[in-house]
């Protein structure tokens, strides 16, 4: 493999999932995983399966909700979509992320 792959930064999978759901509307688990891979240009090394435990956690927090739908393979699956609380949480996480990256950027800049 020529492309440099990096793991998902710790704690950002939630952010990625929420962001994907905000952008794309209701998706099932596979689509969420696939979308994350696509957007990252396959630069992320993500076990697609790991979105499932993340999804259950987000659902328990009340940030996403599930509806039953039918997949392209005609199987009854869960479709996840963002809730109002999820939207708020996304904004918070985005802000946190930006703050953190800005801080790190400034730090790197200052000590160059």
Partner 1 sequence: MTVRRALERFAALARRRRLDRELENEILAHLELAERDAMARGLSPEEARRAARLSFGGIEQIKEAHRDRRSFRWIEALLSDLRYGIASMLRTPGFTAVVAGVLALGTGANVAMFSVADAVLLKPIPFERADRIVRVWEAPRPGVENATSTPDFLDWRRLGGTVFDALSAEQPIAAALTGKDGATRLAGKAVTADYFRVFVAKTQLGRTFRPEDDSPGAAPVIVLSHAAWQSEFGGDPSILHRHPILDGVAHEVLGVLAPGAFDRGETKFWKPLVFTPDQQVRDIHWLTVFGRLQGGLSVAQAGERMQAIYDALAETRPADTRNWKIAIVPLARLLVGAGLERSIAVALGAVALVLLIACANTVNLLLAKAASRGRELAVRAALGASRGRLVAQLLTESMVLCLLGGAAGIAVARLLIGAARPMLATSLPFTAEVNLDLRVLSFAGAIALGTALAAGVFPALRASLGDVAGTLNRAGRGLSGAHAGLRRAIVTGEVAVSLVLVCGALLLLRSLLKIEELETGVRVENVMTMSVDLPEGAYPTPERAAIFYDAVARRLSTAPGVSHAGLSTQLPLRWISNGEGILIPGIRQQIMVRFKRVDPGYFGTLGIAVLAGRGITPRDRDGAGRVMVINQALAARLADVGHMKDPLGKVVRVSTPGYREKRVFLPEVEIVGLIRSERVASPGQPEPPVVYVPLAQAPSPELKLLVRTGAGAASVMPAIREAIRDVDPALPLGDVATMEQVRDATLAGSRRPAGLIGAFAGVAVLLAVIGLYGVLSHTVTLERREIGIRMALGARASDVLLSVLRNGLSMVAVGLVPGLAGAFALTRVMKNLLFEVSPLDPSVLAAACASMVVIGLVAGFVPALRAARLDPVETLREEG
As measured in angstroms, the least distance from the Cβ of 97 to partner 1 is 20
Cα separations (Å) of 36 from 39, 43, 45, 86, 111? 5, 10, 10, 18, 33
Residue 6 backbone phi and psi in degrees, to 5: -120, 155
* From 43, 56, 92, 103, residue interacting with partner 1 (rule: CB under 8 A): 56
Closer Cβ to partner 1, 6 or 108, answer by number: 6
As measured in angstroms, the least distance from the Cβ of 15 to partner 1 is 17
Distance separating alpha carbons of residues 102 and 80, to the nearest angstrom: 31
Contact letters for partner 1, residues 23-52 (x by CB under 8 A):
-----xxxx-xx------------xxxx-x
Distance separating alpha carbons of residues 77 and 67, to the nearest angstrom: 8
DSSP state for residue 73 in the 8-state scheme: T
Q: Binding residues for partner 1, per CB under 8 A?
A: 28-31, 33-34, 47-50, 52-54, 56-57, 60-62, 71-73, 75-78
């Amino acid at each position: 493999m020529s492309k440099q792959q990096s793991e998902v930064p710790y704690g950002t999978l939630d952010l990625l999932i929420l962001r994907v759901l905000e952008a794309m509307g209701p998706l099932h688990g596979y689509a969420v995983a696939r979308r994350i891979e696509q957007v990252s240009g396959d630069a992320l090394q993500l076990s697609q399966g790991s979105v499932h435990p993340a999804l259950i956690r987000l659902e328990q927090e009340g940030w996403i909700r599930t509806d039953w739908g039918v997949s392209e393979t005609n199987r009854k699956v869960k479709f996840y979509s963002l809730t109002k609380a999820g939207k708020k949480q996304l904004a918070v996480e985005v802000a946190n992320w930006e703050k953190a990256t800005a801080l790190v950027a400034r730090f790197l800049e200052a000590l160059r």
